[in-house]
Structure 1
Amino acid sequence: MKAIGNYIIVKELHETLTKTKGGLELTEKLKEDIRYRKGKIISSGPDILNKDQKILFDRVAGFPVEFDDNLYKVINIRDVIAVI
């Protein structure tokens, strides 16, 4: 599977964060409410980002795609807020 145009294919990285830096416990519901998600780029269109870069993107961006029994998200490059 290869991204084309301004799209990138991302594998969402699920965090095991259970506490904030301030010591507050995070419930599963609160973790779902965090606006930005971490992901690893699987494929990108030409001249955009590189494979295996880690990014932050808006949780409502793009759409899910299942391929080879894995779930990915296809998002537009404008929905990436940072490379980490």
Structure 2
Amino acid sequence: MPIFKGSTIDWYMASGIVRNHPCEVRIDVSSVVVSFRYENINYVCSGHEIAKGHFELKDPDRKAKATLHMKPDDDVLEGWWLEGGYDCMWRITLDE
């Protein structure tokens, strides 16, 4: 399973934009795991592929759910994040 330890997240929220926040991403043929620390909270969001390049994820500790989509041969995943009634768009740029 490839591990992208130098990856970054951009969040697009109603309250503003957060750019280049560090994260780690693990991807294999049918699953993805995204982990990061934000505002002193550890997040581990994992999920499975529902169609080629399309993932559904959950973070049960935070009661969050998300989607990520990736084009073939690209290093960017994009989707949405929903947690506690708040939602945002997020983009992850993969980097080792």
Q: TM-score, normalised by structure 1?
A: 0.32
Greater helix share, 1 or 2?
1
Q: TM-score, normalised by structure 2?
A: 0.30
Greater strand share, 1 or 2?
2
Higher relative contact order (CA 8 A, sep 6+): 1
Larger radius of gyration: 1
